[in-house]
Amino acid sequence: MTVSQGKIPKPILAISSSGGHWSQLMLLRDAFDGLPVVYVSTVPNAGEANGLEDYRLVPEANRNSGLRILRLAWSTLRTFAAVNPHTVVSTGALPGLMMVVCGRIAGRRTVWVESIANAEQMSMCGTIARFVCHTCLVQWPEQQGKRTIFAGSVL
């Protein structure tokens, strides 16, 4: 299935929460060059600010957010179904974890890129993601292990 055959391939869904997670996802943009990508985050207007062609917004939530987690879960499911990606890539945190879980359940490829900020140990979401994702990349050589791969850092 190629663009030259008149068929548009399924996109990559690249997702992160705000702050450093979003900054690191934006640093990975060149890795998707020439591929259809739908970016998803919790940052209003981030698509426009970064010149992204396809951007979706999901609500912010973390493990301490109570019922807002349900709103995020619903939004994640709706976004996943609408995009129908072939691959889900996330730099964290909870919105990304929810999306890679959706991807894994749906039989899509899933990739987690642990934040470089987590030098001593993996984040809670990263710790869970390494058991869910097909590929879990860490940015510190000390974190490489049976379920993680160190291939350098994005910074």
Which helix (H) or strand (E) element contains residue 103? helix 94-105
Q: What is the pLDDT of residue 5?
A: 61
d(CA 45, CA 113): 23
7-46: per-residue pLDDT in tens?
A: 768 999 999 999 999 999 999 999 999 999 999 999 999 9
Tokens of 139: 């940015």
Select from 3.40.640.10, 3.40.50.450, 1.10.357.10, 3.40.50.2000 the CATH code of 11-150: 3.40.50.2000
d(CA 11, CA 60): 23
99-146: per-residue pLDDT in tens?
A: 999 999 999 999 999 999 988 899 999 999 999 999 999 999 999 999
Domain residue spans of the chain: 11-150
Alpha carbon 57 to chain centroid, angstroms? 13
Tokens of 106: 């749906």
CA angle 12, 151, 43 (to 5 degrees): 45
